Amino acid sequence: MGGNIGAMLSVLYPDMVEGLVLLDSYGFLPIDVKRMSMIMNRGIEEMMEYEKKLPERKERIYTYEAAKERLKAANQFLSDKSLEILLERGLQKVDGGVVFTRDIRINLTNIVRITLEQCLQMQSQIKTKVLLLRASQGLQKTFPQPEELAVPLRKGWSGLRNTFIELEADHHVHLNNPELVAPIITEFLLSQTSQQTANASSINQASKL
C-alpha cells in the first residue's frame, strides 16, 4: 500500500515529488472490473459489522514474546531482527503486558479500487523518474496478479525515465536485508537531488541573461 500511496501522490502533487521508489510494489493495483462491485460490497459489509462490535471491542493483551510470536505467525518471511524493529513502533505498554497499536481496519476489504485502464492512465501522468526494485520471491510469488492485469501493468512502467532492478530477495528485503537495497536507493535519490539542483542552477543562470 505504501507504493500505491507514493505513486498516487506523484500523480496528484507532482511538484512535491523529486523521485519515486517502488520497493517490490505494483504501484497501482488494478482489479477486474467485473469483480469491483462484489469487492466493494464485501468491504462495506465488513465495515458495518466492525462498527457494530466496536463499543464492546477490547484489545488483547500479550506478553512481548507472545506478541512477537503472533507477528511471526502472521508473516513467516520476517527475520527475528525485523520482527523486533516492527514491534518497536507496533506495541504499546499497558497494565499486564503490551497491545498492538495497528488499526484493525487494515484487515478489512479495501473498497477503494481502480481498473487497469485507470492504473495505466495514472502511470502515464507520473513525470518524475521512478526506481522499481522487484524482489524475485516477493509480491509476484506471494500475491500474484492475473496475466491480463500484470503484463500491461509492467509494460506501463517501462519508460525511458524508469529504472528496473531485480533482487534475489523476498518482499521484506528492506527489513531483512537492508544492505541490498540501501545503496541502490541512496544512489537514486542523490542523483535526483543533484539533477534538481542542476536544473535550478540552469534556471537561475537563464534568468540573469
Tens digit of each residue's pLDDT (9 = 90 or more) over 18-75: 999 999 998 998 988 899 999 999 999 999 999 999 888 888 999 999 999 999 998 8
Distance CA 174, CA 191 (A): 20
Spell out the alpha helix ranges (H) of the chain. Answer: 2-12, 36-53, 64-74, 80-90, 116-124, 139-142, 147-157, 173-176, 178-208
Decide: helix, strand or coil at residue 143.
coil
Please check whether the domain covering 2-30+114-202 is classified as CATH 3.30.70.1230: no
The three grid cell numbers given for residue 6, joined into one nine-digit string: 507514493
- Comparing C-alpha atoms, which of 7, 5, 3, 6 is closest to residue 120? 7
∠ CA(153), CA(126), CA(149), 5° rounding? 10
The predicted structure's pLDDT at residue 198: 55
What is the spatial order of strands in the sheet that 19-23 belongs to? 19-23, 129-137, 162-170
CB atoms within 10 A of CB 18: 13
Name the pTM for this structure.
Answer: 0.76
Identify the weakest region by mean pLDDT among 13-27, 45-59, 163-177, 182-196: 182-196
Whether residue 176 contacts residue 144, with contact meaning beta carbons closer than 8 Å, is answered with: no
Instruction: Please give the pLDDT value at position 72.
Output: 93
Q: How far apart are CA 130 and CA 120, in angstroms?
A: 15
What residues does CATH 3.40.50.1820 cover in the chain? 2-30+114-202
pLDDT at residue 142 in the model: 82
pLDDT at 149 over 70: yes
Residue 154, phi-psi category: left (phi > 0), alpha (psi -120 to 50), beta (remainder): alpha
What pLDDT, on a 0 to 100 scale, did the predictor assign at position 22? Answer: 94
Question: Considering the chain, what percentage of its residues have pLDDT values greater than 70?
Answer: 92
